[in-house]
A = this chain, B = another copy of it.
Amino acid sequence: MNASLAVSTVIFALRSSGRFGGDEGERALWLPLVRRIREPYDGMWALPGGPLGDDEGLAESATATLERTTGLAPRYLEQLYAFGDPHRSGDTAPGEETGRAVGRVVSVVYWALVGEEEARAARVGQNVRWFRAEELPRLAFDHNLIVEYALWRLRNKVEYSRIASAFLGDTFTLAQLREVHEAVRGQVLDPANFRRQVEATGALVDTGEVLTGVRHRPPRLYRYNTTVDLADQGPLGRAAQQ
């Protein structure tokens, strides 16, 4: 019989390493992993996922995994890649990846972004733990490679699309948006030039409100033009396809 199909999801959140309630602190990318409770790779950490349901779409399955693992809904979701190498389990013995199927598994992997606010209150299940994306232990299967690839895609895409706003709330200041870019891209950006660049895209909408309570000049609050997709997916975005 054919290989069996699983859907896994790389879930990214931006978290301040500082205490709760504090607006400040070093922001870094985190992601939730689940501990395996069967062979192969028993006891190791792995990406959340599961077998594809009989009448379930691929993106739908990724969303369900996200909800099951964190209780959250994605602010951005995109297919990453399909991994199907016959020996990707790294083991010569046939392994099960989903906890149910046996034998060869092809994984369609998605990556998701969740909001910073929601991520603070994310449910933490029994065998779920959040890790810094840059400091992962050795994961089950080829999941280290998958996370690396997802990080690469995220970092590329944040430069030429609007997905950075997925980490933020509906309204945000330009400094907040810039800090997301800085955290993901790993470099400091000139506030003046950053402002002009995002303003030049024409996608920013001035809400007319300002953020008060800060001990300096109150920054304006912006919103993104929601009639436009966060990222151009070409024909896939224009169709109702996913």
A interface list, Cβ under 8 A from B: 2-5, 51-52, 54-58, 79, 81-86, 101, 104, 106, 108, 142, 145, 148-149, 152-153, 156, 234-236, 239, 241-242
Contact = CB atoms under 8 A, between A and B. Distances in A.
Contacts of A235: 145, 148-149, 152
Contact of A236 (B54, B81, B104, B106): B81
Given A153-B234, A241-B145, A2 B52 contact: yes
Contact of A106 (B58, B83, B149, B239): B58
> Which 8 residue pairs across A and B have the least CB separation, nearest first?
A152-B234, A58-B84, A148-B235, A82-B82, A149-B235, A82-B108, A2-B4, A55-B86
A108 B239 CA distance: 18
B234 A149 contact: yes
Contacts of A236: 81, 145, 149
Contacts of A3: 5, 52, 54
A5 B52 CA distance: 12
B104 A54 contact: yes
A14 to B, nearest CB: 21
B101 A2 contact: yes
Given A3-B52, A5-B5, A145-B236, 12 more contacts: A2-B5, A2-B52, A2-B101, A5-B84, A57-B84, A58-B84, A84-B108, A85-B241, A148-B235, A152-B234, A152-B235, A153-B234
Greatest chain B CB density within 10 A among A79, A84, A106 is at: A84
23 contacts: A2-B51, A3-B52, A5-B5, A5-B84, A52-B106, A54-B104, A55-B86, A56-B86, A57-B86, A58-B84, A79-B81, A82-B108, A83-B241, A84-B108, A85-B241, A108-B108, A145-B235, A145-B236, A145-B239, A149-B234, A149-B235, A149-B236, A152-B234
Given A152-B235, A235-B148, A241-B142, A52 B84 contact: yes
